[in-house]
Amino acid sequence: MTNIIKILDSSNHISVDGIGNMLGISKVAVCKQIKILKQIGYNIESCTKGYKLIQDKKLFNEFEIESKLNKNLNVCKIIKYYKELPSTQITVKALAQKNFDEGTVVIAEKQTSGYGRIKRVWSSNPGGLWFSILLKPFLHTQESSKLALILSIALKHTFDLYNIDSKIKWPNDIFINNKKIAGIIIEMSADQNVINWIVAGIGININNKLPKEIQETSVSLKEIVNKKIDRTEFICEFFINFEKLYNSFQKEGLKQFFKEYNDNLLYKNKRVLIDTGYTLIDGINLGIDENGMLIINTENKLKKIISGTLREYKK
């Protein structure tokens, strides 16, 4: 589909024969693809000279993303787009169990049961970016939590495209103006400390309308820049950023990134509370070490934390 879109998106009308010759397919196959494109929203003009794509509106789907990327990426080899799913995370985990390749990406326009860390409900209305990526890194299971840190940096780089000062809230959220705009969840399958696969779920408030109950704590990119965002452009920029960081991370580990992570950390050198699930730690946030552990300076000593929920201390 991506190839026929590129052909139709030219300055001249192209005949069915011409399209068929360029793609090496029959007239029937060409007409079938054009019919499908029309059904999913593409405005294709037809006349005696042939067909032409009229770009009168921006569509968001797998074909637009593939066309915009125009390159092979290990983190984005197969894209599956759905108008609605219970959860992209659940869908990709099922594909992982069927041995789908690394780089399988599932995107949903809307999630009815989207979730984040600790199964917290994630509002997933149309207009946002809700997607999950299947990854198969050569990592020890103890390294899996570091992947959320790498994904956070990739998101930070992507927001930089819009001249926005975003901050990383340990371990896996992105904040702008002290409000949450994106979150990451990491789930995996492993045997004997060897990772079989990781599914990285990412939710980003782009053009979606936020529920009233979270408007004081969350924000969308559209609100910040005061205009509608091209989601295809955003997600392609993210994949390119993540590909580069992911490859470097597998080769050289986290050490090369920990300074950048700390330089962009929310609540750095401020008093915070960490809920580890079994205890509450109160102290000064010193950032992560080279192994990805969060360092908290308590009254008695330095404590290193691998996972938990962080929030700013308020009297």
Q: Over the stretch 33-90, which tens digit does the pLDDT of each residue have?
A: 999 888 888 888 888 888 888 876 788 999 999 988 877 899 999 999 999 999 999 9
Domain(s) labelled CATH 1.10.10.10 in the chain stretch across 2-53
Strands (E), 139-243: 167-169, 173-176, 179-191, 194-204
List all residues 6 or more positions away from 21 whose beta carbon is below 8 Å from its beta carbon.
none
pLDDT at 91: 96
CA dist., res. 289 & res. 29, Å (int): 56
The confidence band for 118, taking pLDDT boundaries of 50, 70 and 90, is low
For residues 248-275, average pLDDT: 94
| 144-160 helix and 231-252 helix, angle to the nearest 10 degrees | 140
Average pLDDT over residues 124-147: 90
Confidence tier at 119 by pLDDT (50, 70, 90):
low
Helix (H, G, I), strand (E, B), or coil: what is residue 269? coil
pLDDT at 2 (0 to 100):
77
Mean pLDDT of 239-263: 94
Answer whether CATH 3.40.190.10 is correct for domain 62-262: no
Check residue 175 and report its DSSP letter.
E
pTM of this prediction exceeds 0.75: yes
What is the pLDDT at residue 128? 95
| Type of residue at 278 | Y
Helix 27-39 to helix 16-23 angle, to the nearest 10 degrees?
Answer: 100
The pLDDT value recorded for residue 138 is 86
The torsion angles phi and psi of 219, rounded to 5 degrees, stand at -150, 155
The CATH 2.30.30.100 domain(s) of the chain lie at: 267-312
DSSP state of 207: S
Contact 95, 88 (CB under 8 A): no
CB 88 within 8 A of CB 132: yes
Q: Round the CA-based radius of gyration of the chain to a whole number and report it.
A: 22
Decide: helix, strand or coil at residue 10. Answer: coil
Burial (CB count <10 Å: 0-12, 13-18, 19+), residue 133: buried
Q: What is the mean pLDDT of residues 289-310?
A: 91
- Return the CATH fold of 2-53: Arc Repressor Mutant, subunit A (1.10.10)
Amino acid at 47: C
- Domain 267-312, CATH number (from 2.30.30.100, 1.20.58.100, 1.10.1200.10, 3.40.1010.10): 2.30.30.100
Least trusted range by pLDDT, from 8-12, 114-118, 298-302: 114-118
Cα–Cα distance list, 206 to 101, 133, 221, 224 (Å): 28, 19, 5, 10
Q: Retrieve residue 13's tokens.
A: 């009308």
Q: What pLDDT does residue 291 have? A: 87
The sign one gets for the Cα dihedral 72, 194, 186, 260 is negative
CA angle 119/112/197 to nearest 5° reads 50
Per-position b or e across 144-176, b if 16+ CB within 10 A of its CB: bbbbbbbbbbbbbbbbeebeeebbbbbbbbbbb
Highest mean pLDDT among 27-36, 144-153, 229-238, 276-285: 229-238
3-state DSSP percent of the chain in helix, strand and coil, to 5: 35, 30, 35
Place of tokens 């080899």: 77
Check whether 309 has a pLDDT greater than 70.
Answer: yes
Strand partners, 130: 108, 203
CATH 3.30.930.10 intervals, the chain: 62-262
- Confidence (pLDDT) at 203: 95
Which of 307, 131, 145 is closest to 235 using CA atoms? 131
Is 112's pLDDT higher than 70?
yes
Cα 65 to the center of its chain, rounded Å? 13
- Residue 303 bridge partners (DSSP): 296
